[in-house]
Structure 1
Amino acid sequence: MTRIPPRQRVADIVAELPDATCVGDIHLTFAVRKKTFGYFLDDHHGDGILGLALKAAAGEQDALIRSDPERFYVPAYLGARGWVGVRLDVGEVDWAEIRELITDAYRLQAPRRLVALLDG
């Protein structure tokens, strides 16, 4: 079985979302209609973390970090705005959960018409 690198798995998840883009070299930026909803970060500013920074609903950042502080964290720069960081380099990655977190972040930024496509 071929192991798909985390960067590619994340890009594949984003590619399934209507009108979402995923661009970048080392780091990836996820956007829908020019509204950013997440980042794939690999050793961002030398922090040693392979992870995601995702837009989160009010209160979600705190709830996730409290639920598992080893995997979830307050990302630099965006954490003050409620975004949540999730590590992809700690333990076994639950890709279904990652898909859900990315999709939730997308829903917060996407127009209603595109969100409806997910629910339809």
Structure 2
Amino acid sequence: MIVVKDIDIHSLCEHHLIPFTGKMHIGYVPSGAVIGLSKLPQIAEIVSRRLQIQERLTKEVARMVMDVLQPQGVAVVLEASHLCMEMRSVEKKGSTTVTSCVLGCFMESDVHNEFLRLLGINQTRRYC
């Protein structure tokens, strides 16, 4: 498993045209091909330059890595703060929103849990 953590993300909320910023974590399990580590932050940067919503940004990065590398699996977690929440209506400063997208072998609990462990998240994934 290859994981790049704490990739700075800056994008504009497509609903409010106000910035959101955060940290993205990308992991993948190669099935042959690997890319240079700097390519994962570049993929995140390309996708985040568009007007976005956080959920779609997370999913688009995961799908792009999956399409380009065709690995056994990909996982992406994005933790972000939205200025629209801090500046408008609810004015909740310091709150973060976390989104994730897991594809391929990351849907298996042992692989998913290893990824979370590498991120420093002590959580066991349970399936219903």
TM-score norm. by structure 1 comes to 0.29
TM-score norm. by structure 2 comes to 0.28
Structure number with larger C-alpha Rg: 2
Structure with the higher fraction of residues in helix conformation: 1
